[in-house]
């Protein structure tokens, strides 16, 4: 199978989405070692942390320390991203020097209430507040439950378009379609990818696909064929939404790299160096990972 595209932009979300479900607190120095290793392997964009209330996700209690350390290192050609669930989180990220944030609004209002305890109206109003208060901040929107909701079930095309109409009216330039609980299939991903790209020419879309039912790579390939070139993945396949019952890990970055490199598609990431980071994750965070490459590749 030959794809027209020559390069895929990989956004690493392991240090945020991957770590947030780990119950035992990961020492800050271990998190930094992994983040630095990912950068050394060639990762250019990464969600390094989340400015969420530690009472909700205790793993992110060191968000400020992580951010300060990474920004102080002044890595060239690297863009750190922080996830923010609200205005307070955006303010903290901005004050620390973060230039780009991910703001989450679920397409399913039921999941939005469970995830961030807000209605759509409240979430969009707060997004507007962040835009007005921090005009220099780049805001990418995570459209959670784009392919299905653990509470409401199927998400209709009408609801997706209604949601994106509001996002477009607010002037958002990047939206990530998220398969929060891993229920998508390749036909669905391709169809929705084509639909939104044709309708919203001013928005750059990406995909965040979980591997709950083993379709992470198949869905990613369907998205690539439909013109998506930005893919969010996590080291080791770690992660999953803590407020979505049944949501297991993300598609593993190393598995995606293996597929893309085998297809002669550029990523700018050194596979050998990346696998060294996978070993760090196995040693310090979770010894058994869901990714295939973590199982078959042993360190020399």
How far, rounded to the nearest angstrom, does the alpha carbon of residue 173 sit from its chain's CA centroid?
16
Rounded to 10°, the helix 186-199/216-225 angle is: 30
Q: What does residue 244 show for φ and ψ, rounded to 5 degrees?
A: -130, 100
Q: How far apart are CA 53 and CA 274, in angstroms?
A: 31
Q: 179 with 219: CB under 8 angstroms?
A: yes
> Kindly report the CA angle at 206 between 143 and 256, in degrees rounded to 5?
120
Q: How far apart are CA 264 and CA 259, in angstroms?
A: 9
The b/e string for 230-243 (b: 16+ C-beta within 10 A; e otherwise) is bbbbbbbbbbbbeb
240 Ramachandran zone, left/alpha/beta (phi>0; psi -120 to 50) = left
Strand, helix or coil at 249? coil
How many C-beta neighbours within 10 Å does residue 154 have? 11
Q: How far apart are CA 91 and CA 133, in angstroms?
A: 9
Question: Does 241 participate in catalysis according to the annotation?
Answer: yes
Q: How far apart are CA 67 and CA 228, in angstroms?
A: 29
Q: 145 with 108: CB under 8 angstroms?
A: yes
Which entry of 149, 178, 241, 297 is annotated as an active-site residue?
A: 241
Q: 200 with 126: CB under 8 angstroms?
A: no
What residues act catalytically?
241
């Amino acid at each position: 199978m030959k794809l027209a595209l020559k390069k895929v932009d990989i956004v690493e979300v392991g240090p945020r989405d991957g770590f947030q479900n780990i119950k035992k607190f990961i020492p800050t120095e271990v998190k930094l070692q992994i983040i630095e290793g990912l950068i050394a392997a060639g990762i250019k964009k990464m969600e390094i942390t989340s400015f969420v209330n530690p009472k909700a996700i205790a793993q992110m209690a060191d968000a400020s320390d992580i951010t300060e350390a990474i920004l102080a290192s002044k890595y060239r050609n690297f863009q750190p991203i922080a996830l923010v669930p609200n205005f307070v989180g955006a303010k903290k990220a901005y004050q620390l020097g973060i230039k780009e944030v991910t703001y989450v609004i679920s397409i399913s209002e039921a999941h939005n209430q469970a995830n961030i305890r807000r209605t759509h109206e409240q979430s969009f109003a707060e997004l507007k507040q962040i835009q007005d208060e921090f005009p220099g901040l780049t805001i990418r929107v995570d459209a959670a439950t784009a392919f299905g909701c653990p509470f409401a079930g199927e998400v209709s095309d009408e609801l997706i378009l209604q949601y994106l109409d509001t996002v477009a009216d607010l002037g958002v330039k990047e939206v990530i379609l998220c398969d929060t609980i891993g229920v998508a299939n390749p036909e669905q991903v391709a169809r929705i990818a084509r639909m939104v790209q044709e309708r919203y020419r001013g928005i750059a879309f990406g995909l965040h696909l979980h591997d709950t039912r083993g379709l992470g790579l198949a869905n990613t390939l369907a998205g690539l064929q439909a013109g998506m070139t930005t893919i969010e993945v996590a080291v080791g396949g770690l992660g999953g939404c803590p407020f979505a019952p049944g949501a297991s890990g993300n598609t593993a970055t190393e598995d995606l790299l293996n597929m893309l490199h085998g297809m002669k598609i550029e990523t700018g990431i050194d596979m050998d160096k990346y696998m060294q980071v996978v070993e760090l994750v196995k040693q310090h965070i979770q010894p058994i990972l869901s990714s295939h490459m973590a199982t078959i590749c042993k360190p020399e």
